[in-house]
């Protein structure tokens, strides 16, 4: 599989002519499995964006302990747990124990065009008393999916992204706002944690899909 930078698989995912379905391999370590509602939301967002059939493969179990993950070890884990033939349009979403590079402020990360991870321990820790972990898990999962779909401005380069936080929406009501994947997510509590793409995000996906 060629190494595709984050967001650069979006045209293949979204445009017709690259198959009529997308497989999402969902893998989770013990104690890190995502909620069913999170996966249903993921399926819905991906289906709305692509118009394609979405096939969720998993949740299947991923072995090993929580650790300080890196982009390289996440990609290795995704490959080792993959069931897909390389010809298939496949996304790989891992729910992991531990942290990213020992940074407990990272809730999720997209590391390659087809690979993203959510750090379930950090999601739980960020939730605290004020917000349900289910809401944060949902928000972070959709945020990372958004990056794999080319948001924000990873493909079109139209100058729409937050200049201080490339790849992110300037709108704090968008799930693509930068703080959504950080431990500072609860600073967004006033007005609610965003879990949905905003109109500008959806328009960007439509533009990518149109080619």
Q: Does 137 bind Zn ion (CB under 5 A)?
A: no
Instruction: Give 72's Cβ-side CA count (13 Å radius).
Output: 0
- Least spacing, CB of residue 178 vs Zn ion, in Å: 6
3-state secondary structure of 28: strand
Tokens 């390289």 — which residue?
72
Where does 76-202 show beta strands of DSSP type E?
90-96, 98-100, 108-112, 115-119
CB-nearer residue toward Zn ion: 10 or 81:
10
CA dist., res. 13 & res. 150, Å (int): 10
- Least spacing, CB of residue 83 vs Zn ion, in Å: 27
- The number of residues that bind Zn ion (CB under 5 A) is 1
CB-nearer residue toward Zn ion: 25 or 162:
162
CA dist., res. 9 & res. 175, Å (int): 20
- Least spacing, CB of residue 174 vs Zn ion, in Å: 11
- Least spacing, CB of residue 160 vs Zn ion, in Å: 14
CB-nearer residue toward Zn ion: 50 or 177:
177
Residue 157 in tokens: 């380069």
CA dist., res. 201 & res. 197, Å (int): 6
- Least spacing, CB of residue 181 vs Zn ion, in Å: 4
Out of 137, 181, 201, 204, the only residue in the binding site for Zn ion (CB under 5 A) is: 181
Instruction: Give 147's Cβ-side CA count (13 Å radius).
Output: 29
- Least spacing, CB of residue 167 vs Zn ion, in Å: 6
Q: Which stretch binds Zn ion (CB under 5 A): 62-70, 84-92, 180-188, 192-200?
A: 180-188
Q: Which residue's CB comes closest to Zn ion?
A: 181
Beta bridge partners of 53: 21
CB-nearer residue toward Zn ion: 120 or 179:
179
Residue count of the chain, please give it: 211
CB-nearer residue toward Zn ion: 153 or 181:
181
Q: Which stretch binds Zn ion (CB under 5 A): 27-35, 55-63, 92-100, 173-181?
A: 173-181
Per the CB < 8 A criterion, the answer to whether 91 and 84 are in contact is: no
- Contacting positions for Zn ion (CB under 5 A): 181
């Amino acid at each position: 599989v060629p190494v595709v930078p984050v967001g650069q698989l979006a045209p293949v995912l979204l445009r017709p002519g690259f198959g009529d379905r997308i497989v999402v391999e969902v893998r989770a370590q013990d104690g890190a499995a995502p909620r069913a509602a999170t996966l249903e939301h993921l399926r819905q967002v991906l289906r709305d964006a692509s118009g394609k059939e979405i096939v969720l493969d998993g949740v299947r179990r991923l072995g090993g302990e929580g650790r300080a993950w890196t982009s390289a070890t996440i990609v290795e884990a995704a490959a080792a747990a993959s069931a897909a033939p390389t010809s298939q349009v496949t996304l790989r979403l891992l729910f992991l124990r531990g942290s990213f590079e020992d940074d407990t402020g990272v809730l999720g990360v997209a590391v390659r065009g087809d690979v993203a991870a959510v750090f379930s321990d950090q999601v739980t820790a960020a939730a605290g008393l004020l917000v349900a972990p289910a809401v944060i898990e949902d928000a972070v999962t959709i945020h990372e999916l958004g990056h794999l779909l080319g948001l924000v401005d990873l493909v079109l380069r139209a100058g729409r992204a937050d200049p201080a936080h490339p790849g992110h929406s300037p709108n704090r009501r968008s799930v693509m706002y930068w703080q959504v994947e950080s431990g500072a997510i609860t600073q967004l509590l006033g007005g609610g944690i965003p879990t949905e793409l905003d109109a500008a995000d959806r328009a960007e996906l439509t533009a990518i899909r149109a080619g």
